[in-house]
């Protein structure tokens, strides 16, 4: 364990990353990207040398920071929140919410194509510009709405790059804030790839802001981001390639992924099993070097994982320990080296990188500050969904994990495109794998793919979190015919 302070080289990388985030397509003149204006830095004249006292200061403005600040303010605490980007965080502005807005267009087009000739006729396609406008109708008002809510609660909403100036001090612009407790909720950022031409890649947030869709797109990495954006881009008319060493979607059950793969084939998405060695640019063409392959594209997107965004915080000045890019925390999400400082969400990297986890972490932090309860977060039964078309989802253990844990269990699995939930939509992909512990009937894990998998997984997540067994689900009378009514049949 060591206390870490960004080196000069690290700080330079951070600066370049920030510049890239502001204009990630600089030098790629053929395509434009929408960027919201950054609010001007706010500070009070004459306060540079005088620290202002706050009960609670949050760095970041995403889900974790929002939940924590509002709860602390409701408890009567003087709070401040700081972000160098427009308020809202990744989920609301650059991640799950805008992505799902875009996926709505993909879902509509996929439904049309499945039902064409079965009572549905005509021609339908995605208009990328109109789809972007629809998405922005949600994202553009978010920062102003959030700041107005903070103002109503008396929360100081500050703009600028925050850094620790002492164990109980944070500097931003010309101000210095003295805190009783602070929360690091800065989220995550794309992990460094360490390859030649890395700065030629754009990140996922820039992809979601493309005003026009390039003809050829290469995704480096094969996880959630690559799969979801590849489906969206391919259905919108782009030629898409995913470069990933080994199988894609490693976080998901292998059989579930195998059942999903025909959807990639149908969209013409090429998956290259290779490691990316570098990216070069000549004229307006980008070339990805992957093993012995040379893959040309008009745009290359970083989709190879994310790491906590903590490099610019000057943690050493705050006596906040980190180890290999991760904060060193107690089970209660408190810094081991500075008890005034907590972390939550992707910055804490303690649980799955999901919005509900960020919210849960924030509630745990606030309880530990206000009540000194010693509570630790509980991530049991947290589901995750892959918003391809059709979607896939998982909760609990993988089959391999259950075997490694030495558990005795049965596997209820199968591909069932003939089940009514798939048949009525003319969808050929519909499968499940549910792990049930022998003797107790405890549900160990569930893995789904097909229509409404992203909704149906919540039933299994609820069961796992609250200790319901297989018989509890099988004896429940769900509305029929709905996706939920398949849950009992998935348990054998």
Helix, strand, coil percentages in the chain from 3-state DSSP, rounded to 5: 35, 25, 40
- State the average pLDDT over residues 290-300: 97
Q: What is the mean pLDDT of the chain?
A: 92
Q: Known binder of ligand: residue 346?
A: yes
Residue 24: per-residue pLDDT:
33
Distance CA 427, CA 413 (A): 18
Q: Is 81 annotated as a binding residue?
A: no
Please tell me the predicted confidence (pLDDT) of residue 50.
79
Distance of alpha carbon 464 from alpha carbon 467, whole angstroms: 5
Establish whether the linkage from the previous residue to 384 is cis, with ω within 30° of 0. no
For CA atoms 442, 448, 452, 455, give the dihedral sign: positive
Asked if residue 3 lies in contact with residue 320, where contact means CB atoms within 8 angstroms, the answer is yes
Closest alpha carbon to 464 in 392, 356, 378: 378
Whether 100 has a binding-site annotation, put simply, is yes
How does pLDDT run across 74-113, given as a tens digit for each residue? 999 999 999 999 999 999 999 999 999 999 999 999 999 9
Question: How far from the centroid of its chain's Cα atoms is residue 291's Cα?
Answer: 29
Q: What is the pLDDT of residue 15?
A: 35
Residue 225 counted as an annotated binding residue: yes
In 429-487, at which residue ranges do the beta strands (DSSP E only) sit?
Answer: 431-437, 443-449
Tell me: pLDDT of 131 over 60.
yes
pLDDT on residue 34: 53
Find out whether 46 is annotated in a ligand binding site.
Answer: no
The answer on whether 76 is annotated among ligand-binding residues is no
CATH assignment of 384-491?
A: 3.30.390.30
Q: How far is 423 from 420, CA to CA, in rounded Å?
A: 5
User: Given the DSSP bridges, would you call strands 299-302 and 216-220 parallel, antiparallel or unpaired?
Assistant: parallel
- Asked if residue 253 belongs to a known ligand binding site, the reply is no
- Residue 390, preceding bond cis, omega within 30 degrees? yes
Out of 14-23, 210-219, 264-273, 384-393, which region has the weakest mean confidence (pLDDT)? 14-23
Binning pLDDT at 50, 70 and 90, where does residue 17 land? very low
121 is in an annotated binding site: no
Residue ranges per structural domain of the chain: 34-95+133-191+307-371, 198-304, 384-491
**Structure token digits, residue 290:** 């992957």
Kindly report the CATH class assigned to 198-304.
Answer: alpha beta
Q: How many CB atoms lie within 10 A of CB 129?
A: 12
pLDDT bracket for residue 19 (50, 70, 90): very low
Q: What is the 3-state secondary structure (H, E, C) of 178-219?
A: EEEEEEECCCEEECCCCCECHHHCECHHHHCCECCCCCEEEE
Query: According to the CATH classification, is domain 34-95+133-191+307-371 in 3.40.190.290?
Result: no
- In angstroms, rounded to a whole number, what is the distance separating the alpha carbons of residues 394 and 174? 47
| CB of 202 closer than 8 Å to CB of 26 | no
What pLDDT digit, counting tens, does each position of 163-186 carry? 999 999 999 999 999 999 999 999
Average pLDDT of the segment spanning 271-300: 97
Q: Are the folds of 34-95+133-191+307-371 and 198-304 the same?
A: yes
Is 177 in contact with 80 (CB distance < 8 Å)? yes
Residue 457 in marked binding region: no
pLDDT per residue as tens digits for the range 327-355: 999 999 999 999 999 999 999 999 999 99
């Amino acid at each position: 364990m060591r206390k870490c302070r960004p080196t000069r080289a690290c700080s330079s990388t951070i600066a370049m990353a920030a510049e890239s985030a502001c204009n990630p397509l600089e030098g790629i003149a053929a395509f434009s990207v929408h960027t919201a204006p950054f609010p001007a830095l706010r500070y009070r004249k004459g306060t540079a040398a005088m620290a202002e006292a706050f009960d609670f200061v949050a760095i970041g403005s995403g889900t974790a920071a929002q939940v924590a600040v509002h709860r602390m303010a409701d408890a009567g605490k003087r709070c401040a929140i700081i972000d160098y980007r427009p308020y809202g965080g990744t989920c609301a502005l650059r991640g799950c919410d805008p992505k799902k807005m875009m996926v709505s267009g993909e879902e509509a087009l996929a439904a049309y194509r499945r039902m064409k000739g079965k009572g549905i006729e005509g021609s339908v396609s995605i208009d990328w510009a109109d789809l972007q406008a629809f998405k922005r109708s949600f994202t553009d008002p978010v920062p102003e709405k959030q700041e107005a809510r903070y103002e109503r609660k008396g929360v100081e909403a500050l703009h600028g790059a925050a850094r620790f100036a002492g164990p109980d001090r944070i500097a931003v612009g010309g101000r210095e804030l003295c805190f009783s407790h602070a929360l690091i909720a800065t989220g995550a950022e794309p992990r460094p790839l360490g390859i030649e031409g890395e700065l030629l890649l754009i990140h996922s947030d820039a992809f979601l802001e493309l005003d026009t869709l390039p003809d050829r797109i290469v995704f480096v990495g094969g996880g959630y981001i690559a799969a979801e954006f590849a489906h969206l881009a391919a259905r919108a008319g782009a030629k898409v390639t995913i470069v990933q060493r080994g199988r894609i979607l490693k976080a998901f059950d292998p059989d579930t992924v195998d059942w999903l793969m025909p959807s990639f084939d149908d969209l013409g998405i090429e998956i290259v099993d290779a490691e990316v060695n570098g990216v070069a640019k000549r004229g307006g063409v980008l070339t990805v070097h992957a093993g012995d392959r040379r893959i040309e594209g008009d745009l290359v997107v970083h989709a190879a994982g994310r790491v906590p965004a903590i490099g610019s915080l000057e943690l050493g000045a705050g006596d906040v320990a980190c180890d290999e890019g991760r904060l060193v925390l107690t089970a209660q999400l408190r810094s081991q080296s500075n008890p005034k400082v907590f972390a939550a969400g992707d910055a804490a990297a303690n649980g799955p990188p999901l919005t509900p986890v960020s919210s849960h972490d924030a509630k745990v932090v606030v309880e530990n500050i206000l009540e000194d309860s010693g509570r630790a977060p509980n991530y049991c039964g947290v589901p995750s969904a892959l918003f391809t078309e059709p979607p896939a989802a998982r909760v609990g253990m993988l089959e391999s994990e259950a075997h490694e844990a030495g558990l005795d269990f049965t596997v209820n699995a199968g591909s069932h495109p003939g089940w009514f939930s798939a048949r009525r939509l003319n969808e050929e992909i519909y499968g499940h794998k549910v792990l049930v512990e022998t003797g107790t009937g405890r549900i160990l894990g569930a893995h789904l793919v097909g229509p409404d998998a992203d909704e149906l997984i919540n039933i299994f997540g609820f069961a796992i979190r609250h200790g319901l067994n297989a018989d509890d689900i099988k004896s429940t009378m769900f509305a029929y015919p709905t996706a939920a009514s398949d849950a009992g049949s998935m348990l054998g």
